[in-house]
Amino acid sequence: MSKNKLRVLFVYGDDEFAIARRLKKIQASVDKEGMNTTHLDAATARKEELNTAINAMPFLAERRLVFLKNASGQYRGKNQRETFLAFLKAVPDTTVLVLYEAMGGKKATTNWLAKWAQKTREIAGAEAFMLPKAWETRDWVERIQKEANSQGGEIEGQAAARLAEMTGSNTRQAAQEITKLLTYAKFSRPITLADVELLSVNTAQADIFALVDALGNGEGKKAQALLHQLLDEQDAFSIFGMVVRQFRLLLQAREVLDQRGNVQAELKQHPFVAKKLIAQARHFSISTLEAIYRRLLVIDEEAKTGKTALDLSLDMLVMELAG
């Protein structure tokens, strides 16, 4: 963080790994030794405690650093929010106040503190850190390439796409895998697809690809084995969400193919991922994919109403599709 008039920074999103790393960078930039740093939680901090932390003079330093967790949810009414915003505007230039909290995409787009920070740029700033979405593969691949660059190395496009597929939306694992891969390459050459295949570990999202491959190829036993392995390792609702996303992508890819369009361009996918989607989509007709998607909607409703256990519904779906 540069030494300027910024007094309040709001760091938010659902990528908790990226948020934690950003907070560490702020700490190192403003108060590396931690002698002038205070950590508070808005749920438990008293008004007087917060006021003291903000207005205290820094000790043998230019600025103090105050971290305040989960502020936006503690000020719910209009009067409370107006009072807190007035307090933020009065933060002295000898203090950097960092507000931070985890929140999903919908809340992030409407958060009142984020909107205030974006409008009050003379003293405040807002930084969002969101997890990559399964259908935004191109953006996720670019983030992986940037991560490799930030660690002092490079990763080839196909390798980044494969790593994105393997790690799903787990940004912490992706960063760790990149460190391992760059170390293997001795930081002397770009990470290749062969490196990723050799050293990196699949996550559930990659296994979903394998599951759909097995279904498309009529390999019922393999598909069931993959599903049971996934259900042993993760919550059924997480697995179901990934299945829905994958079939939504396949339905979109099939529609593009039937219209003789370009899957990579229209779905905004990396060439490596688009190639795999095309191969999978060709195993299903548009009517079959539409029927599967309708079936998934029924499964979702039955699971939420308690009519049928989700793991049982998934098992039955795999048996039906595998024939």
Percent of the chain scored above 90 by pLDDT?
Answer: 57
Average pLDDT over residues 156-172: 84
Beta strands across the sheet bearing 95-102: 37-41, 64-69, 95-102, 8-13, 124-128
- pLDDT tens per residue, range 85-116: 999 999 999 999 999 999 987 889 999 999 99
Quick check: pTM over 0.95? no
Q: Report the 10 Å Cβ neighbour count for 323.
A: 7
Return left, alpha or beta for 211; rule: phi > 0 is left, psi -120 to 50 is alpha, else beta.
Answer: alpha
Spatial distance between the Cα atoms of 195 and 188, rounded to a whole number of angstroms? 13
The encoded tokens of residue 20 equal: 């934690």
pLDDT(2) > 50: no
* Calpha distance 150→232 (Å, rounded): 35
Q: What pLDDT, in 10s, does the model give residues 115-145? A: 999 999 999 999 999 887 655 667 888 999 9
Residue range 22-35: mean pLDDT, rounded:
94
Query: Which distant-in-sequence residues (6+ apart) come within 8 Å of 129 by Cβ?
Result: 11, 12, 13, 14, 15, 18, 19, 22
- List domains and CATH numbers for the chain: 8-128 (3.40.50.300), 137-199 (1.10.8.60), 204-322 (1.20.272.10)
Res 206 pLDDT > 70 = no
In the predicted model, what is the mean pLDDT of the chain? 89
| Percent residues over pLDDT 70 in the chain | 95
Kindly report, residue by residue over 253-272, the tens digit of the pLDDT: 999 999 999 998 888 777 87
Rounded Cα–Cα distance for residues 51 and 68 (Å): 12
pLDDT tens, position by position, 186-199: 999 999 999 998 88
